[in-house]
Amino acid sequence: MRSLWQEHAGRSDFPALTTNLKTDVLIIGGGIAGILTAHFLKEAGVSCVLVEKDRICESTTGNTTAKITYQHGLIYHKLLKRYGVETAALYLKANRTAFDRYRELCSSIDCGYEIRSNYVYSTDSRKKLEDEMDALSAIGYHAAFCETLPLPIDTVGAVCFEAQAQFHPLQFLFTIARNLNIYEHTFVRELLGTTAITDEGSIYADKVIITTHFPFLNTHGSYFLKLYQHRSYVIALEHAQQVDGMYVDENRTGLSFRNYKELLLLGGGSHRTGKHGGSWNELRSIAKQYYPDSEERYFWAAQDCMSLDDIPYIGPYSKHTPDLYTASGFCKWGMTGAMLSALLLCDMICGKPNDFAHVFSPSRNVIKPQLFVNAFESAANLLTPSKKRCPHLGCALKWNPAEHSWDCACHGSRFSSEGRLLNNPANGDLKNL
């Protein structure tokens, strides 16, 4: 199961680390956040090495729907209620800065970059949309309200951000990565301070940035309580529909739509990792109902880290680790989230002030309702009888029949039927399957 992007971009080819080395900054994790951070650090003249345990862009980054937008669901009403006008406006400004940097970089890279409007629709609550419009007005952003959409499902309207973008993420990233100092098939088995231990050598760094999707160090930061993981599914249909835009339901378990050339990318079937959900069966049923003449060309799944308050964690790993940084919790908006992370982390490493840093600080207040949900899920799964336990923190694993994998409902680690690690935060394969 490889995504449309992976099939159309080939594979990367970087060497594995076979010796010890020294660098100013080590980046652990070869997804979009790590690659962009390495790119900006190199531009700033900082010595930097990136290591990836498999191949770059093979996991979450390679399975995105690749929408570049600063419209992240109906987030601005939530931010306005929780944190006030200033924080909501800073969140918007930060993500618009990330969007603008994509536009600059993509102008010289052949990656299918296209300007499209983005729509967040609702199937049952016009009031949620109106509240979002009011919040956007309060922070000085003009959005459009759309009464009807060119979708096969019934909606009650949508909030539209014009002039957003979509692209081919791997064509973009493989071009960016070409001249970076990258080592693939280099698994960091242990991190001792800022020294990374791999199978074939050690990396001595002054500072370390962890961009491994889910931060894997449990002794700092409490990410096992501050994050949970969510799976979503995509099918690419030929002979379906040109929707002329990017569309997503305000409900996280709803549907998303966008085109890539002649294909319609239909997303949905979402569920918390380790729980039951619609998966591809739900999408195929919808395709059969609304696009009976279509043909499925690709199918894939993605996994996203969800924060407590819908804002990513970007910055120092914890208050007690001054030379350790991370970026995670993009809440399904990894394109702008990754670019923003790269810009913020580069400024932090270079000692430059950044107006947005405090908004995304991983050490901000974590007392949110989702914290207690995460704690309950962990406790319940720790007490669930099961011979198969996740090596991360010992939670019970559950069989995922759609993807033939063992999944952890506590923190989202996943393993193949043979026990091979598919998704972290677990840092190794299953034993004694």
114-134 pLDDT per residue, tens: 999 999 999 999 999 999 999
**AA letter at 243:** V
The reported pTM is 0.94
Report yes or no: 198 and 17 within 8 Å, Cβ to Cβ: yes
160/235 Cα distance (integer angstroms): 24
pLDDT digits (tens, 9 = 90+) for 165-186: 999 999 999 999 999 999 999 9
Which of the four CATH numbers 3.40.50.720, 2.102.10.10, 2.60.40.420, 3.40.109.10 does domain 369-423 have?
A: 2.102.10.10
Confidence of residue 7 (pLDDT cuts 50, 70, 90): very high
- Report the alpha-carbon distance of residue 69 to residue 99 in Å, rounded: 7
Q: How confident is the model at residue 69 (pLDDT cuts 50, 70, 90)?
A: very high
Q: Where are the beta strands (DSSP E) in 242-384?
A: 246-249, 256-260, 263-272, 295-306, 313-316, 324-328
Average pLDDT rounded to a whole number, residues 236-254? 95
pLDDT at residue 196, rounded to an integer: 97
Q: For residue 383, is pLDDT > 70?
A: no
Q: Does the domain at residues 4-64+171-226+310-360 carry the CATH identifier 3.40.50.170?
A: no
More confident residue, 401 or 112: 112
pLDDT in tens, 333-357: 999 999 999 999 999 999 999 999 9
pLDDT at 382: 66
Would you call 422 helix, strand, or coil by DSSP?
strand
Q: Look at residue 105 in the predicted model and tell me its pLDDT.
A: 98
Average pLDDT, the chain: 93
Residues 6+ apart with CB under 8 A from 252: 73, 230, 270, 332
pLDDT of residue 381: 66
Kind and range of the H or E run holding 134 = helix 126-138
Placement of tokens 């929780």 in the chain: 82
What pLDDT, in 10s, does the model give residues 140-165? 999 999 999 999 999 999 999 999 99
Question: Where are the domains positioned within the chain?
Answer: 4-64+171-226+310-360, 369-423
Q: Which is more confidently placed, 179 or 1?
A: 179
pLDDT mean over 88-100: 98
Task: Calculate mean pLDDT across residues 301-327.
Answer: 95
What per-residue string of b and e applies to 353-371 under the rule 16 or more CB within 10 Å gives b? ebebbebbbbebeeeeebe
Query: Residue 329: its pLDDT value, please?
Result: 97
pLDDT at 250: 97
pLDDT at 375 (0 to 100): 73
CA nearest neighbour of 249 among 236, 265, 267, 237: 267
Residue 424: the pLDDT is: 84
